[in-house]
Structure 1
Amino acid sequence: MTTSLPCVLHAWTAYESELRNYLRHRSKDAHQADDLLQEVFVKAMQQGKQFCLLENSRAWLFQVARNALVDQFRLGRDVIELPEDLPQPEPTREPIQALSACVARVLTELTPEDRDIIEKCDLEGVKQKDYAATQQLSLPAVKSRLLRARERMRARMSTACQVRFDEQGRVLGHVPR
């Protein structure tokens, strides 16, 4: 540590006043700012030879000071202990997760062609290009068929499961049957 002492002392002499003002301005408590300043100095000393290798010691010192302030603010938050007998909220499922039973049922109600393309491309993750090759179809034909199959499935789900969608097409909720 003695080899790094001149580097730390040089930087400390140059920036201590500026760091103190920064910490006092941010913490609003001079004693707390001085304690934090001491922490920054100790961390600089602990860096040893690494401190001398820093490209911008001022930036490093201010980053350490900022992190010390953040840590202090986090520790200073008031914590309220909750009673042990506080009832736990019921776990909620996202509307899209709750639809799994409805999706499975509606898939069985679709035509075999619609069911196959939706299962392969949407549920199993087969690329449309690969699906087109295995079915001996053009890629535009697969895209068109998949779009129409999705539209029919969406209409069927809206009817069968009373699925509600928002303006962006995201599921808001449904009524299971």
Structure 2
Amino acid sequence: MSTYPCILTAWHAHEKELRGYLIHRLGDPYGADDLLQDVFLKSLRQGADFCRLDNPRAWLFQVARHAVIDQCRLAKPQSVMTDDLAAPPAGERDPVEQLDDCLMRNLAALSIEDHNIISQCDLHGMKHQVFADNHGLSLSAVKSRLMRARQRLHAALLLHCQVRFDEDGKVCCHKPRGPLS
């Protein structure tokens, strides 16, 4: 690949301005330098076509803008893991996971209709429309029945399992009472 003088002339005329633009857009001088190098390589790959451009500055800035967009699309948000996010000690389960026994006991104590709709739709993932078709109901009737069944199960869990929530509304703990009577 031979270097055309027109590329070097345009590059020397606009390199500092391009670098400033990239630093402003990225907020990272090292990342800006990497993209600046990519823009220069793309201009070299254009060869004689670059020399025929009416406005080489506009072309360079367009390539730089697209490089910034591509980099932002590829960037994956990352966060630092802190010690407070560590997994619970071995053998200790998350409070929500500890509710499984209490949940199953309370689900079994619900009416057969409530038990069926929650089991099929929530636990086994049956689509509401399929449940409606299988039971000769309308979709809105299934949604209403499911909502009421969930409310009854929620009330039973609060009563029989003494579920408590933290300030974020997440289950923090519970104390299952003895077997349901």
For residues 115 and 156 of structure 1, what CA distance do their matches in structure 2 show? 13
CA contact (8 A) 1:44 1:61 kept: no
Asked if the contact 1:19/1:62 (under 8 Å) is kept, the reply is: no
SS of the residue corresponding to residue 117 of structure 2 reads helix
* Partner AA of 1:91 in structure 2: P
Residue 105 to residue 8, structure 1, CA distance change in 2 (3 Å): farther
User: Residues of 2 paired with 1:23 and 1:132: CA distance?
Assistant: 57
Identity of aligned residues (%): 36
Distance 1:158 1:63 in 2: 55
The alpha carbon displacement at 1:89 in A equals: 4.5
Structure 1's unaligned 5+ residue stretches are 68-85
Q: How does 1:6-155 map to 2 (within 5 A)?
A: 6=5, 8-19=7-18, 36=33, 40-41=36-37, 44-45=40-41, 48-49=44-45, 56-61=59-64, 89-91=86-88, 95-155=95-155
Report the Cα offset of residue 159 of structure 1. 1.4
Change (3 A) 1:143 1:20: closer
User: Counterparts of 2:16 and 2:110 in 1: how far apart (Å)?
Assistant: 75
| TM-score (ref. length: structure 2) | 0.58
Corresponding residue SS for 2:126: coil
How many residue pairs get matched? 150
Q: Distance in 1 between matches of 2:6 and 2:126?
A: 61
* Secondary structure in 1 matching 2:137: coil
With over 3 angstroms needed to count, the CA separation of the structure-2 counterparts of 1:7 and 1:41, relative to structure 1, is farther
Report the TM-score, using the length of structure 1 for normalisation.
Answer: 0.59
Aligned partner of residue 173 in structure 1, secondary structure: strand
Can you list the C-alpha shifts for 1:95-123, whole angstroms capped at 9, x where unaligned?
54443333223222222211110011112
SS of the equivalent of 1:56 reads: helix
Contact 2:162/2:174, CA 8 A, preserved across alignment? yes
Q: Deviations over 1:117-154 (max 9, x none)?
A: 00111122212222121112233332222121111100
Q: Is the 8 A contact 1:157 1:163 kept in 2?
A: yes
> How large is the RMSD of aligned CA atoms in angstroms?
4.4
| Aligned residues of 1:40 and 1:64 also touching (Cα < 8 A) | no
For residues 21-48 of structure 1, the C-alpha deviation after alignment (integer angstroms, 9 at most, x for no partner) is 56898779xxx8xxx48x8347623774
